[in-house]
Amino acid sequence: MKAKSSPKTLEISIREIKIMASTCKPKLYYFNSPGRGEPIRQTLVYCNVDFEDVRFTGEEWAKQHKDQSPLGMSPFYEEGELKLGGSIAILRYVAEKNGLGGSNPVENAQLESYSDFLFDVSSKLYGIVMGPEDKRDDCRKEFMETVPKRLGFLENQVKSTNFLPADKVSYADIQLSASFHLFGLVGLGDVFKDCPKLTAIADTISKSPQLIEHREKTLKLPSK
Ligand SMILES: N[C@@H](CCC(=O)N[C@@H](CS)C(=O)NCC(=O)O)C(=O)O
């Protein structure tokens, strides 16, 4: 019979994983498109984290990466022995590690809810840029009809603070700024026109020199 690990052994191995995770160059795996990977990329870039931005095609995903990912989905993240799947979990992890998480359980919960909201809203872009050609105009129309109202709810969440949801930059602000930039790139920036507070946050984040460089280098206007 195999010997069970003692609590002490377990404790050491968890500590070792933590040490390895803190010293290894992280790798973020996602398709060569913005999608659910982009807020994580931009958070890492904003925090000047030296990471490997592993990008692939659909074919490469199926052949090489799907089985390598912890939950069979993309994005996924590696840092030493740590393998993490799920875009919100990865985003939250890299943000907390780099000082962009919440300061207490309430802020943590608020951040996660805003992050989830922003992933949902941004997913409405897929039909417009990647859907069947003959359906794209309808998707665009639906986007313009529904997204401004949804963003209005988030706008109302920004009370007297400068950022989401407090006075210091968080990963939800980076994600907001990434969406704001992307919507603008595909000619949908008008959805923010009645959201002055969200626009101000996005503008502040977008001034980061490393984000400007990353966006210029990696985000191209999708061809129609
Ligand atoms: N809830 C997951 C959803 C991930 C997801 O749907 N990923 C898609 C790409 S955006 C994917 O991996 N598709 C390929 C597959 O399922 O094999 C997350 O947020 O990470």
The pairing of beta strand 27-31 with beta strand 52-56? parallel
Query: Measured from the CB, is residue 36 less than 6 Å from ligand 1?
Result: yes
Query: What are 182-221's pLDDT values in tens digits?
Result: 999 999 999 999 999 999 999 999 999 999 999 999 987 5
Q: How buried is 52 (Cβ within 10 angstroms: 0-12 exposed, 13-18 middle, 19+ buried)? A: exposed
Query: Measured from the CB, is residue 92 less than 6 Å from ligand 1?
Result: no
Q: How confident is the model at residue 130 (pLDDT cuts 50, 70, 90)?
A: confident
Q: What is the pTM of this model?
A: 0.89
Q: For residue 61, how many other CB atoms are within 10 A of its CB? A: 18
Q: How buried is 27 (Cβ within 10 angstroms: 0-12 exposed, 13-18 middle, 19+ buried)? A: middle
What are the two backbone dihedrals, phi and then psi, of residue 26, each rounded to the nearest 5 degrees? -70, 155
Domain that holds residue 48: 7-97
Q: Are residues 70 and 157 in the same domain?
A: no
Please report whether residue 205 resides in a domain. yes
**Cα 65 to Cα 25, 36, 41, 56, 79, distances in angstroms:** 18, 16, 18, 9, 16
Q: Are residues 118 and 80 in the same domain?
A: no
Query: Measured from the CB, is residue 35 less than 6 Å from ligand 1?
Result: yes
pLDDT at 161: 86
Q: Are residues 71 and 115 in the same domain?
A: no
Query: Which residue among 97, 132, 152 closes a domain?
Result: 97
Query: Which residue among 97, 120, 152 closes a domain?
Result: 97
Tell me the sheet residues that pair with 31: 56
Q: Are residues 167 and 90 in the same domain?
A: no
Q: Are residues 76 and 162 in the same domain?
A: no
Question: What is the number of the ligand 1 atom nearest to the C-alpha of 35?
Answer: 10
User: Mean pLDDT, to the nearest integer, of 129-135?
Assistant: 91
pLDDT at 24: 87
Query: What are 49-67's pLDDT values in tens digits?
Result: 999 999 999 999 999 999 9
